[in-house]
Amino acid sequence: MPFTGVEGRPRTQPAIDGDQAVFDKNGFARQVAYAIRWSHSIGDWDIGLSNFYGTSRDPLILVETDSAGLVSLTPYYQNINQTGLDVQATIESWLLKLEAIVRVSETDTDFATVAGVEYTFFNIAETGLDIGLLAEYLYDSRGRFAPTAFQNDFFTEIRFALNDVQDTQILAGVIVDSNTYEQFYNIEASRRFFDSFKLEVEARFFNGASAGDPTYSFRKDSHFRFELSYHF
């Protein structure tokens, strides 16, 4: 799993040193992994079950201190047996979804889930405009050892799709930590121009993090990104 380097953004402080990665004594970097998935649809419901056995692609982050008192962050790849469940229901304009995993390693049994609901207003005032409202809850039992900052958070988003020839789309969302109330804002927009050009705009903002919070290292990493692409 690649990590952002010292000159990259956004990144943790200190940066995660992928070159010093540690592997479970029962796993190694090139171990053969096994994965299987089953899915089925029943009326409005789509159900999936999966299982993965092998070296995790999603490491724990270990905080270590050397004799000089310098702190380092080291990725630790465990050998895991992970079982997942995903359920989605489409009921008229509603979309209900649940994704959950149970991960068993030599030392721990961890649980993570994302559960959400989405409602879409279609063809508002017969203009072709669709507006979607989304709310999700994100949880990871590994807490501060998880490779993500979103361990007990709420996510809301609004999406606009103009359904025009230029395929204009806009979305804006925010993730709020339920413990510290820090926020991560995300805005994205895209639109095609002429026959071959496409403009994409992205803005991300971090707010409210205090020292010790998972996203404190990102407090100065708010940014805009513009991308103009040509297709031929």
CA distance 165 to 148: 37
What does the pLDDT look like over 3-46, one tens digit per residue?
666 666 666 666 676 667 778 766 555 567 899 999 999 999 99
CA distance 178 to 139: 10
Q: CATH number for 18-230: choose from 2.40.160, 2.40.128, 3.30.930, 1.20.120.
A: 2.40.160
In the 8-state DSSP scheme, what is residue 14?
S
Give the range among 63-72, 117-126, 165-174 with minimum mean pLDDT: 63-72
| Among the listed residues 21, 74, 77, the one whose alpha carbon sits nearest the alpha carbon of residue 54 | 77
Number of helices and strands (H, E) in the chain? 0, 14
Give pTM, 2 decimals. 0.79
CA distance 140 to 147: 10
Rounded mean pLDDT, 57-63? 79
- CA dist list (Å): 225 to 145, 174, 186, 187, 189: 30, 18, 11, 10, 11
